[in-house]
Structure 1
Amino acid sequence: MHYVKAKGIFTSDYGINLYRGCTHGCIYCDSRSTIYGMNHKFEDIEVKENAIELLKKELIKRKPSMIGTGSMTDPYVPLEKRLQFVRKTLELVYRYGFGFACITKSDLVLRDIDLLKKINEKTKAVVQITLTTADDELCKKIEPNVCPTSRRIEVLKTLNENSLPAVVWLSPILPYINDTKENMNYILDACIENNVKGVLNFGFGLSLREGNREYFYRKMDEKFPLIKQMYVEQFGDSNFIHSKDNAKLMKIFRKRTHEHGILNNPDDIFAYLHEFPEKSVQTTLF
């Protein structure tokens, strides 16, 4: 971990990253890609020491809207337990009447369920959970330093019990490893049972760009050497790869989500995540 002073806090679409880098150890992480210009070791998490101060200054002068975090770095990395930057962010979001959406694989999000509920009652709070692998043992191989899928499904259950909307990222999927109908249906069953708002899927495959690809192949050598050789022979240096069963799996995915009223189009889901509720504007006016 190391600290930096940030010049700004918001991206163009009201996104924030309190941290940069991650220790979850997911073997497929696209955030390792060189296109993002990270100039420090990925596991050496960069902490924006003035992030909360910058955020407060911006929220005071901006019109309330949805604020998102987690697109580049899981906000609930272990050091968040001590630093509590996310919790301080939530306190400001609630105070100034904004909405909030985050992406995480960590059950640490439940620490903040009290603030998420308060925000959702006032405006809107959405928790996005990544689920890729039904089997916990396999999950520990490809996402080694974060709570397993079974625990994340418990998080979904708790969110549902507290009337907090959730979106699941069924992505990425690794060909020849977890690209099976059984794996997908297990995750979809959990989504249906826990009334998720939407399931994001960009095709059954993953990105393997420069920087990410090299790390992924090193980990494949350690954990799945025979499958790694299949990847090299079939995909080579491709930036994006898909399962041979992509079309079949996508058909089942769309059918099942549609039958249960779950959003499955990425554009529709992102529109929902960015939509700031009118009720909060009316409350402010009257």
Structure 2
Amino acid sequence: MHEVRSKSILSGKNGMNVYRGCTHGCIYCDSRSTCYQMDHPFEDVAVKSDAPRLLEQALRRKRRRCMIGTGSMCDPYLPLERETRLTRRCLEVIDRYGFGVSILTKSDLILRDMDLITSINRKTKAVVCTTLTTYDEALCRVLEPHVCTTRRRVEVLRAFHEAGVHTGVWLCPILPFLNDTEENLMGILEDCFRVGVEVIVNFGMGVTLRDGDRQYFYAQLDRHFPGMKERYIKTFGNAYQCPSPNAAPLEALFRARCAARGVICRPDAAMEYLTAFEDRQAGEQLDLFL
């Protein structure tokens, strides 16, 4: 890791990334793509040590409170968060200023901050989300080698649901020829329903591959699934979007099962849910931030 100084912490859509880079080792990670112009090795995480101060400055300037999102590019609960506590300090700022928060993480370290997240949720709205890709624990350890497995992430969702915090899942990627089966999808969905997940985000049954990401992904396929890289190349070439051959029936099953259980799953509705700010104390819902 190395520290960097930043001029700002919030994006135009109120997204926040305290870290840049990752040590989870997920073989499909889009954040490795060269289009993001990362100027350091991906595993040498850049730490925005002044993030809490920058966030406080940004929230003071806002005319309306809104949801602050974190985790879309880099996980806010990397192992180094145990020492830096930057994500926690940012949550303290969000709580103090009465903003909402939507968090995406694959780490159970988020349980450490349940006190702050439940405090935010009492005043406004907090949503805790995790990414789920596979119901198979052995496959999970290959696809996402340095982070807690699916089963543990589901238990994290259960804990927050029982604490009254909203929970969601990002169902992605569904990797062609690896986890694109009805059995895998149903295993994940049944876990979601069992622990009270309210929203599941999925933009298609497949994976996207860009320069940088593709090379790393293919190297890991060669390491763990001999012959699979050649199958990808033959099927998709250099395409950005790589949909599963089973995409249509999987998507139909996904929508039907979510509809039957009252779980939000349409992409636009799911994103609206994650970004809609609620003022619980005033009993009113304010505008979405987009």
Q: Which residue of 2 aligns with 1:27?
A: 27
Partner Cα separation in structure 1 for residue 49 and residue 85 of structure 2: 12
Alignment partners' CA distance in 2, 1:137 and 1:189: 19
Equivalence for 1:113: 114
Query: How far 1:279 moved relative to its partner?
Result: 3.1
Task: State the partner residue of 2:251.
Answer: 250
1:44 shift after superposition: 0.5
| 1:226 paired residue number | 227
1:14 aligns with 2:22: no
Q: CA deviation at 1:281?
A: 4.4
Matched-pair contact (CA < 8 Å) for 2:123–2:279: no
> Matched residue of 1:230: which SS?
helix
How far is 1:273 from its partner?
A: 1.1
Where 1:254 maps in the other structure, the secondary structure is: helix
Counterpart of 2:52? 52
Amino-acid identity (%): 49
User: Aligned partners of 1:217 and 1:123: how far apart in 2?
Assistant: 43
Q: Who is 2:288 aligned against?
A: none
1:142-221 equivalences in 2 (<5 Å): 142-221=143-222
Q: What is the aligned residue count?
A: 283
Q: Deviations for 1:71-125, whole angstroms, at most 9, x for unmatched residues?
A: 1001111000110111101111111100011111111111111111110001010
RMSD: 1.1
CA-CA distance at 1:278 after TM superposition? 3.8
Judge conservation of contact 2:49–2:86 (CA < 8 Å) in 1.
no
CA apart distance, 1:282: 5.3
2:239 pairs with 1:238: yes
Q: 1:129-164, CA deviations, whole angstroms, 9 ceiling, x for partnerless residues?
A: 101011111001010000011101111111111111
- What residue number does 1:73 align with? 74
Q: Distance in 1 between matches of 2:12 and 2:75?
A: 19
| Range with greater deviation from structure 2 (190-199 or 56-65) | 56-65
- Structure 2 distance, partners of 1:28, 1:240, is 13
Could you tell me which residue of structure 1 aligns to residue 125 of structure 2?
124
TM-score (norm 2): 0.95
**2:272 paired residue number:** 271
Letter in 2 for 1:50: D
Structure 2: distance between partners of 1:22 and 1:188: 27
Partner residue in 2 for 1:43: 43
Partner of 2:95 in structure 1?
Answer: 94
Q: Stretches of 4+ moved more than 6 A in 1?
A: none
* Cα displacement (A) at 1:61: 2.4
